[in-house]
């Protein structure tokens, strides 16, 4: 019986789909999950889990950060490409750079 190191047991899988989580605004429901490709049942199950974690949480809520990390781990387990559209720049310095340029 041969035992393999843990690294070899979990080889990286090719992406099984792509999802984009979009912030809709300050009025609930705050989130929408969109998909570009992937098996419909996998995407739908992921969408249900993600919305259960995020639906009533706007991005400024302290619980959002924890739940965002959980959604990201879930997408990683399912081998989904995850994209967030929060309607704001990801980098905080972006606004300052735009003001300096203008």
pLDDT 10s digits, 39-68: 899 999 999 999 999 888 888 888 999 999
Query: Residue 92: how many CB atoms within 10 A of its CB?
Result: 8
d(CA 19, CA 63): 21
Q: What is the mean pLDDT of residues 70-78?
A: 94
pTM, two decimal places: 0.70
């Amino acid at each position: 019986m041969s035992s393999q190191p843990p690294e070899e047991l979990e080889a990286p899988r090719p992406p099984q789909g792509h999802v984009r989580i979009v912030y809709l605004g300050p009025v609930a429901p705050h989130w929408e999950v969109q998909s570009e490709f992937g098996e419909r049942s996998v995407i739908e199950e992921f969408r249900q889990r993600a919305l259960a974690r995020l639906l009533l949480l706007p991005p400024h809520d302290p619980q959002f950060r924890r739940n965002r990390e959980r959604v990201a781990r879930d997408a990683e387990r399912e081998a989904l490409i995850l994209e967030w559209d929060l309607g704001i720049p990801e980098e905080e310095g972006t606004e300052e750079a735009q003001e300096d340029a203008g």
